[in-house]
Copies of this chain bind each other. A is one copy, B any other.
Amino acid sequence: MVVEYKTRTQVVVEAIREKILTGAIKAGEPLRQAALADELKVSRIPVREALLQLEAEGLVEFEAHKGATATKLSAEQVTELFELRALLECELLRMAIPRLTEAELAQSEQLLQQMSEAYQAADTSGSWSELNSRFHMSLYRAANRPLTYEMVQNLNSNSDRYIRVHLMLAGGVKKAGPEHENLLQLVRQKKADAACQLLKQHILGAAAEIKLLVTKLDGG
């Protein structure tokens, strides 16, 4: 196990990312460098560097001389985000299926178990979402596509924010349970086409619900 020495910038990246994902910082909200620096007990330099990295992740938007804001996606952009996920994740899943070992599948299954527990414990905001991402990603690692994998990870971060804020309240989480289990079963049986179709449906279904909620909020 590598000890992974962390630079201040990295710590700040994680802190701000967490704030955005949990909704502590809302979409569109300005991110003042001085305030963040003060709060995190660092100078503005690591804050600026962190904001730049988060911009690359799509969580933050930077405008010269005007500062950064938490990215606010329009309904169309949310749609695009989820459709991109559907496209890329299906591709990854298709490539992963023939290579997934039983050990890896067992891990995915364990994540499902944990998600179910988190759901029972009504801990739907934090852990469930985290586990959800990890479950999805656990199916893709075997695809051996580092570039695509990283992209999908970013897209997941982004959509996660919307899942947490919006879908929790609706019945989205309840529906996800059986869908995940069916998906895992199809993957186990190496039924690539069926699995991909279900995955696509799973992602786009969530997208549709979230889009509704987003447009409702923007409109009223």
Contact = CB atoms under 8 A, between A and B. Distances in A.
List the 9 closest A-B pairs by CB distance, nearest first: A56-B56, A52-B52, A7-B64, A80-B147, A80-B145, A84-B148, A49-B52, A87-B91, A52-B53
A10 interface: yes
A64 B151 contact: no
B148 A80 contact: yes
Interface of A: 5, 7, 10, 45, 48-49, 52-53, 55-56, 58, 64-65, 76-77, 80-81, 84, 87-88, 91, 144-148, 151
Contact of A147 (B7, B53, B77, B147): B77
- The A interface is mostly helix, strand or loop, or mixed, namely helix
26 contacts: A5-B64, A7-B64, A10-B64, A45-B45, A48-B49, A49-B49, A49-B52, A52-B52, A52-B53, A52-B56, A53-B56, A55-B56, A56-B56, A58-B147, A76-B144, A77-B146, A77-B147, A80-B145, A80-B146, A80-B147, A80-B148, A81-B147, A84-B148, A84-B151, A87-B88, A151-B151
